[in-house]
Amino acid sequence: MEGLVSMKSSASSHPAAIGSLPRRPTFSIRRSQVTLPRVKRFSAAAASIRAQQFVQPDTMDASSAAREEPEIVLKAKEWEVGMLQNELAESQGIRIRRQPPTGPPLHYVGPFEFRIQNEGNTPRNILEEIVWHKDNEVHQLKQWKPIYTLKKAMEDALPTRDFVGALREANRRTGLPGLIAEVKKASPSRGVLRENFDPVEVAQSYEKGGAACLSVLTDAKYFQGSFENLEAIRKAGVKCPLLCKEFIVDAWQIYYARTKGADAILLIAAILPDLDIKYMIKICKVLGLAALVEVHDEREMDRVIGIEGVELIGINNRNLETFEVDISNTKKLLEGERGKLIREKGIIVVGESGLFTPEHIAYVQEAGVGAVLVGESLVKQSDPGQAISGLFGRDISS
Ligand SMILES: O=C(O)c1ccccc1NCC(=O)[C@H](O)[C@H](O)COP(=O)(O)O
């Protein structure tokens, strides 16, 4: 086969470069020879795949000849690169793996009936499942709306509003944490939270009840949300700045969120290596968006505190791998040196998940949060906006 293959990683050193952080290498057929990134260290599994690939000619049979087909070599390389990305992420304590683009090259069964175990082909927990699904979803969306079309759409997008400023102002006005109220129809842990869900009605109700900002879930498969909901809320004239609550795995999603009316986006430290967070924050700055960087444990908190430009850190009390909710997590992560450093840097901390009562709000406020993100306890009530007074123990609407 003469059309050999080259691999381009479109990661750019310019932070604001559109589409600069693809998880998947993109491939194109070229006449030149195979060009691959220098992969210095292979995982044991990847190395054994390579060993399988380079069999001696005199032991070749039909299946081993097939191994030399560029397409198959490419699949093996793709898998290796995926494995390497996961190894790098793991070195930062990230347990959530990315799905290798093609999965382990199972063609390499070979004459010895040798098979790499299917480990790596099945998500280990719900967060990993969501991320793998999201990777594929984004891959397809990018074909449908390439980045240059988003650039054009951004020219007509409504201006962004000051998400961080709105939280500060609410905190100053009420003496309570600023509220980010979540427009959330359903969740993997709780199922459907609100039947007859009307996102605009819920958003308007939250605004009336005193929310400083809103969080709008846009994931369809696991949360029954959508970008149409985000857009509809923005276009309905809701003044609260909007967080696009999405599982961001690719910079493309940030541009897309901007075209749909987002004022802020969520970056989850459990799924993004430091470099991705850093560049995505820079992209946000260029686009006028705020970034809420979410952590769940000490290691993630330490990573995120060290990233320049972080203004908002969310502490999720929900473990997204197990669904366990424990609001003392907020306190734990703000104790001692960490809390001190956060205060010195002027970072606003958002307490997220599992907040149901005025005591819960007081508890996380005492721990040091300047804002809270609340979904279930509000959205389940017949009048979500009115439920805000119940949650805070008083009317915060004026
Ligand atoms: O809510 C879930 O079940 C969930 C599962 C997997 C990943 C993320 C998930 N939720 C995202 C959130 O963190 C919450 O929507 C948000 O913090 C509000 O939480 P709550 O007030 O408990 O609804």
Give the start-to-end residue ranges of the domains of the chain.
Answer: 18-122, 147-392
C-alpha torsion sign, points 251, 23, 276, 98: positive
Q: Which of 179, 184, 216, 190 is nearest to 318 (CA)?
A: 190
Q: Which of 61, 52, 54, 30 is nearest to 104 (CA)?
A: 52
Residues 6+ apart with CB under 8 A from 257: 218, 227, 230, 244, 246, 265, 289
**Is ipTM over 0.95?**
yes
For the residues of 237-248, what is the DSSP string, one character each? T--S-EEEE---
The pTM of the full predicted model, rounded to 2 decimals, is 0.79
- Percent of the chain scoring above 70 in pLDDT: 76
**Predicted local confidence at residue 53, as pLDDT:** 39
For 189-239, the pLDDT digits (tens) are 999 999 999 999 999 999 999 999 999 999 999 999 999 999 999 999 999
For 81-138, the pLDDT digits (tens) are 777 777 778 878 888 788 766 555 555 555 554 445 445 678 888 999 999 999 999 9
- Mean residue pLDDT of the chain comes to 82
Q: Which of 303, 305, 264 is nearest to 284 (CA)?
A: 264
Q: Which of 241, 170, 248, 293 is nearest to 230 (CA)?
A: 241
Residue 185 CA to ligand 1 center (angstroms) comes to 11
User: So what's the architecture of 147-392 in CATH?
Assistant: Alpha-Beta Barrel (3.20)
Q: Which of 141, 147, 145 is nearest to 12 (CA)?
A: 147
Q: What are the pocket residues of ligand 1 if the criterion is a CB atom closer than 6 Å to any ligand atom?
A: 126-127, 182, 184, 187-190, 316, 318, 320, 323, 352-355, 373-377
**Predicted local confidence at residue 135, as pLDDT:** 93
CB 37 within 8 A of CB 7: yes
For 362-387, the pLDDT digits (tens) are 999 999 999 999 999 999 999 999 99
* Angle between helices 274-287 and 251-259 in degrees, nearest 10: 30
CB 263 within 8 A of CB 241: yes
Ligand 1 atom nearest residue 188's Cα: 3
Residue 11 CA to ligand 1 center (angstroms) comes to 31
- Which structure tokens are listed for 350? 């958002």
Q: Which of 385, 384, 354, 387 is nearest to 372 (CA)?
A: 354
- Could you give the CA distance from residue 214 to residue 163 in angstroms, rounded to a whole number? 9
